[in-house]
Structures are given as structure tokens and as C-alpha cells.
């Protein structure tokens, strides 16, 4: 954002007033730590019963013009609620616990660690329709590293919630940055959104890319480029 600031030097009678302009650097807003340090659902949080959830499915079936009493739909409410329990299990999992155990036997390793092509499926919070793709995650450790599978598990925890791709990207980066305290984090996500490919504009195959960089990846363009080069390497 540009800010116009009046000169503090008094203007001479034969000299017009000058205006100086400076650019104020802005940074992305920080996420609330509660988003990635604990489970999203508290044990004492009031929630509808399973019977109430199944009744809501019956209501939606009637809304679209179906007969909930026909044979093929008799067990659909139960199946839908069970599917929700699986698709949205990330609300009940704690991201911090996944990254809690680290290993110190790194033989002085001081470069970044990259896990590429982490497949995921999530649900768009605007239409509750799936979006799916791959996450690429890198971080530069300080003395200790985390198990590689933990980065995939972290991705799944956040993906198995109602999401936007932008927020998903930011949450993964923030959790790694806050819990592991690395020298930098890089996250790139590429995904296809069915709310765009099978409805609305119906553009099948369109991909969305989002990225988030912290620390050395944010401040050093050469490290960003090296990360992107490895993600888009010749083996892809």
C-alpha cells in the first residue's frame, strides 16, 4: 500500500510543496495457533446426535425430489453419516501431535528436506464438493528432523476438514514452522476442484496452484527456485 507523506521541510515561497511516497511492506496475516496446535473439535463441544445427522440427510433427499423410502435409499442416511465421519476425521486429530516426535541423528545435515507428490483429497467449504491433488512440502531442519510420513499425515489432517486450497496451504506451512522451528518452510499445492470442473463453468482438468514460503525460502529467491525446480523435475 502506498502512503503519501508531506515533507517536513518548510516550503519556500517560490517552491511548490513536495510529496514523498514510500512503499510499506506487508506480510501475510499470521494464523491463529489454535488452528494447527490442537484438534478442531473439543470433547465438550455440543454436537448433534447421529440420529439428528441422519434425519438431516433424509431432509436433503426429499429436497432434491427423491423418495427416501424407496429401497435403494433406505440405508443411505446411515452410509452418508459414516462417510462424513471418515471424510472429516481431521477435525478430531491434533496436528501438533503428529510433528511432536523428532530425530537428532542427522550427521550435521544442513540442506532442506523435500517430500514431493503427497496425494490428498479435501472438501471445498463453499460447496462441500471434493478437490484433490498433490502437496509438495520442504523444510530446512535445525539439528532435528521429523519422520517423512508425518508430513503426509499432517497434510491429511488439514485436508480432512472443510477447506479452501489457500487456507490448507497456509495451515500446513504454519504448523511446520511453529512446531519444528526450521530455518524455512516451502509448501506448494496443485489441485483440481470439482466445484469448478463438474458444475458451474464445468472446466474439467483446470488446476489451481497455491504456495507458501517462510524463513529462508521466503527471503532467498534462489532457494525458492531450487525448491520449485525439484518439484517440477524431469521425472514428473
Do residues 183 and 140 make contact, with C-beta atoms less than 8 angstroms apart?
A: yes
Q: What is the C-alpha separation between 5 and 12, in angstroms, rounded?
A: 18
Q: What is the C-alpha separation between 109 and 141, in angstroms, rounded?
A: 8
Going by C-alpha positions, the residue among 145, 36, 146 that lies closest to residue 93 is: 36
Q: Which residues are catalytic?
A: 124-127, 165, 193, 195
Q: What is the C-alpha separation between 202 and 211, in angstroms, rounded?
A: 24
Q: Is 88 exposed, middle or buried (0-12, 13-18, 19+ CB in 10 A)?
A: middle
CB atoms within 10 A of CB 112: 20
Do residues 166 and 210 make contact, with C-beta atoms less than 8 angstroms apart?
A: yes
3-state secondary structure 108-130: CCCCCEEEEEEEEEEEECCCCCE
Going by C-alpha positions, the residue among 96, 236, 235 that lies closest to residue 171 is: 96
Do residues 165 and 193 make contact, with C-beta atoms less than 8 angstroms apart?
A: yes
Amino acid at each position: 500500500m502506498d502512503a503519501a507523506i508531506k515533507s517536513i521541510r518548510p516550503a519556500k515561497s517560490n517552491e511548490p510543496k513536495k510529496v514523498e511516497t514510500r512503499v510499506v511492506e506487508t506480510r501475510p496475516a499470521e494464523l491463529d495457533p489454535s488452528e494447527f496446535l490442537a484438534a478442531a473439535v473439543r470433547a465438550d463441544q455440543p454436537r448433534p446426535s447421529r440420529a439428528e445427522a441422519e434425519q438431516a440427510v433424509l431432509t436433503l433427499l426429499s429436497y432434491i425430489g427423491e423418495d427416501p423410502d424407496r429401497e435403494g435409499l433406505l440405508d443411505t442416511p446411515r452410509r452418508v453419516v459414516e462417510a462424513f465421519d471418515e471424510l472429516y476425521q481431521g477435525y478430531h486429530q491434533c496436528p501438533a501431535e503428529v510433528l511432536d516426535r523428532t530425530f537428532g541423528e542427522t550427521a550435521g545435515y544442513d540442506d532442506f528436506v523435500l517430500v514431493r507428490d503427497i496425494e490428498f483429497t479435501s472438501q471445498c467449504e463453499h460447496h462441500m464438493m471434493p478437490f484433490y491433488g498433490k502437496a509438495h512440502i520442504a523444510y530446512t531442519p535445525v539439528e532435528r528432523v521429523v519422520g517423512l510420513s508425518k508430513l503426509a499425515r499432517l497434510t491429511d489432517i488439514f485436508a480432512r476438514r472443510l477447506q479452501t486450497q489457500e487456507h490448507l496451504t497456509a495451515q500446513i506451512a504454519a504448523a511446520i514452522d511453529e512446531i519444528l522451528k526450521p530455518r524455512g518452510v516451502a509448501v506448494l499445492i496443485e489441485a483440481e476442484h470439482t466445484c469448478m470442473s463438474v458444475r458451474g463453468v464445468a472446466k474439467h482438468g483446470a488446476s489451481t496452484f497455491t504456495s507458501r514460503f517462510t524463513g529462508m525460502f521466503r527471503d532467498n529467491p534462489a532457494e525458492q527456485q531450487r525448491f520449485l525446480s525439484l518439484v517440477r523435475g524431469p521425472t514428473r
